[in-house]
Structure 1
Amino acid sequence: MLADVSVTGQGGLSRSVTRGLLDQATPGLRWAVAVVLLGVSGLFGGLDSVPDPQPETLTAGTPVYGGPWEVTVEGAVVQRVLGKLRLEKETNRWLVLTATVRITAHESSILPSDLLTLDGVTGLTSPTPADAALDRDKSRLRLLQPNMPERVLFIWEQSGDAPVPSSITVSVKQRTYREDSLSSAWYWMDSDTGGDVTPAGIVTVPVRADLAAPSASPSPSAGSTPSPGPRPTASPKTAGRTPSAGPTP
């Protein structure tokens, strides 16, 4: 019914409403529904594109629900040394983002590489993390189990020529549970919008800088000869004597 069809504030039918009506129609009736919608849209000024509302910017420690996962971004730090990881260039640095991730889906999940994207940071060698590890034992992140929150270290490499950010904006990816158009099976997938996907949430966190150079052990001054230290001297009573072979079994 036309009374159930919403129109945009600019006088046109919403594309999301149009897509929903087409999806609900049976295959045999989709062409008829499309013709009716085109006629109705002509009365209201055509199909207008309505941008999806952007999520508000949250503070660190606020959980963000993204469909099959819940992400709580906690903080970030920039440092030069990070365990056994090696930088592409010695002058570069690591940017480490700490977040607690809880799988809310019923099955175990491998997090997508673009789960978190950063804004306000220049000089990243890659938009996706160079590595990710569990905070509790620093082992590489692999499979996460449902309802078992884990603190995860998401690690990017940043050029040493780029400025150290004082804060960063983190966008959390979202997925929707929908039917696959090819297999008709239901999966957690990217939303089928045909354009930019709205993030589940945006979090701004301050960045702590820990860029102290690693301390080097002191070396002897040039030209100085280290003292050899005292030498053991033989006792007068044992000098020239052959040591005993010990008790015979």
Structure 2
Amino acid sequence: MLADVSVTGQGGLSRRLTRGLLDQVTPGLRWVAAVVLLGVSGLFGGLDTVPEPPAETVAAGTTIHGGPWEVTVEAAAVYRDMGKLRLEKETNRWLVVTATVRITAHESTMPPSDLLTLTGVTGLTSPTPAEEALDRDKSRLRLLQPDMPERILFIWEQSGDAPVPTSITVAVEQRTYREDSLSGAWYWMDVDGKGEDEPAGRVTVPVRTDLPPLIASPSPSVAASPSTSPKPAANRTPSAGPTP
């Protein structure tokens, strides 16, 4: 019913509402529904994009609900040495965010590489973490089980030429459980289908900067043979090091 159709922006019909209505129509009738919706939208000024409200910024220790997961960002710190993990340049540093992640979906889930993104920091070698590790045993992050919270180390490498941040803002990615308009199957997917959603929330956290001395190169193991290099191969990604 037209009375139930909300309009937004300058009077235009919401694109997300339009897509949702089309997804509920059988494939054979979608072209008919599309024509009707376009006609209705013309009465209200066309299809306007509905801007999402900005994500709330909360304090460290606040749980953010992101759909199939809950994330509690706890702390951030800078380190020079992370055990076996190697910097691209010895003058660089590690920026480590510690967060507890609980899977709220019914199935085991591997968090996406962009589960956490950072603002307020420059010089990152990659926007996604160089390594993600379980705090309890420093093993590499794998599938997380439902309703079993894990404390995780999210580790970025930052250029030594960039300033050490005093605080950072951590954005938590979100997903929504919806029907795929092509296959009809239900998945945890981006809300807008383009990966351009607002995050579920943001956390501003101070950065601990009590840096240990720079270690130029590790000492070779006593048990290592003379031909063994103390450093791993360039294309090898070792496991994470000690707890921040």
TM-score bucket of the superposed structures, by smaller chain: 0.7 to 0.9
Q: Structure 1: 5+ residue runs without aligned partners?
A: 217-249
Q: Do the aligned residues in 1 keep the contact of 2:9 with 2:49 (CA within 8 Å)?
A: no
Match of 1:61 in 2: 61
Match of 2:173 in 1: 173
Percent identity of paired positions between Structure 1 and Structure 2: 80
Please show how residues 47-86 of structure 1 align to structure 2 within 5 Å: 47-86=47-86
Match of 1:45 in 2: 45
Match of 1:203 in 2: 203
Q: Do the aligned residues in 2 keep the contact of 1:175 with 1:190 (CA within 8 Å)?
A: yes
Q: Do the aligned residues in 1 keep the contact of 2:81 with 2:215 (CA within 8 Å)?
A: no
Q: Do the aligned residues in 1 keep the contact of 2:134 with 2:153 (CA within 8 Å)?
A: yes
> In the aligned structure 2, how far is the partner of 1:214 from the partner of 1:41?
62
Alpha-carbon RMSD across the aligned residues, in angstroms, is: 1.9
Q: Structure 2: 5+ residue runs without aligned partners?
A: 217-244
Match of 2:160 in 1: 160
1:97 aligns with 2:103: no
> In the aligned structure 2, how far is the partner of 1:82 from the partner of 1:26?
55
> In the aligned structure 1, how far is the partner of 2:139 from the partner of 2:193?
36
Structure 1-normalised TM-score?
0.81
Q: Do the aligned residues in 1 keep the contact of 2:136 with 2:151 (CA within 8 Å)?
A: yes
> In the aligned structure 2, how far is the partner of 1:153 from the partner of 1:35?
50
Please show how residues 122-133 of structure 1 align to structure 2 within 5 Å: 122-133=122-133
Match of 1:29 in 2: 29
> In the aligned structure 2, how far is the partner of 1:37 from the partner of 1:187?
26
Q: How many residues align?
A: 216
> In the aligned structure 1, how far is the partner of 2:9 from the partner of 2:90?
55
> In the aligned structure 1, how far is the partner of 2:32 from the partner of 2:180?
24
Helix, strand or coil: the match of 2:21?
A: helix
Q: Which structure is higher in RCO with an 8 Å CA cutoff and minimum separation 6?
A: 2
Shift in Å, 1:135: 1.2
Match of 1:11 in 2: 11
Structure 1's 71 and 3: CA in aligned 2 closer, same or farther, altered over 3 A? same
> In the aligned structure 2, how far is the partner of 1:214 from the partner of 1:132?
22
> In the aligned structure 2, how far is the partner of 1:54 from the partner of 1:128?
22
Structure 2-normalised TM-score?
0.82
